Amino acid sequence: MIIRPPQALTALARFQPMAPGDLLLTGTPGGTALKAPAKAVEKLAALLPPATRWKLFFAREARNPRYLHDGDVIAATIASADGRLNLGTQHNTVIGKTP
């Protein structure tokens, strides 16, 4: 993981309201989002304020045609590999940022 869960939640809470019961998807299948930048880029980015780094990251992601868009539906299934536990599938629609 590039960012551990506690740090990811803290960073997300700075610009995204969260409520009990919200589903937070913090990972994506390969190719749908950018991969970690090269070490040299990471070191340069570390000199920037966190808000600027996030802004640059999301601006870069917005140019990726496979990144999530307003209206996309995400299906999240929670089940064990052996099928003994199956909590079902939850469908979530991506809602874009309002102006």
pLDDT for position 98: 57
Cα–Cα dist 46/31, whole Å: 24
The residue with tokens 């003994």 is 84
User: Which residue in the block uniquely carries the two structure tokens 């869960």?
Assistant: 5
Q: How many CB atoms lie within 10 A of CB 49?
A: 8
The pLDDT value recorded for residue 32 is: 56
Length of the chain: 99
pLDDT for position 43 = 87
User: How far apart are the C-alpha atoms of 20 and 35, rounded to whole Å?
Assistant: 30
pTM: 0.39
Q: What is the pLDDT of residue 82?
A: 92
Of residues 48, 51, 41, 49, the one with CA closest to residue 11: 51
Q: Report the pLDDT value the prediction gives residue 8, as an integer from 0 to 100.
A: 83
Written as one letter, the residue type at 89 is: T
Instruction: Give the type of residue at 95.
Output: I
pLDDT tens string, the chain, 99 residues long: the values are 667 778 888 888 888 888 887 777 766 655 555 666 778 888 888 899 988 888 887 777 667 777 777 898 988 888 888 989 898 999 989 887 655
Task: Report helix, strand or coil for 78.
Answer: strand
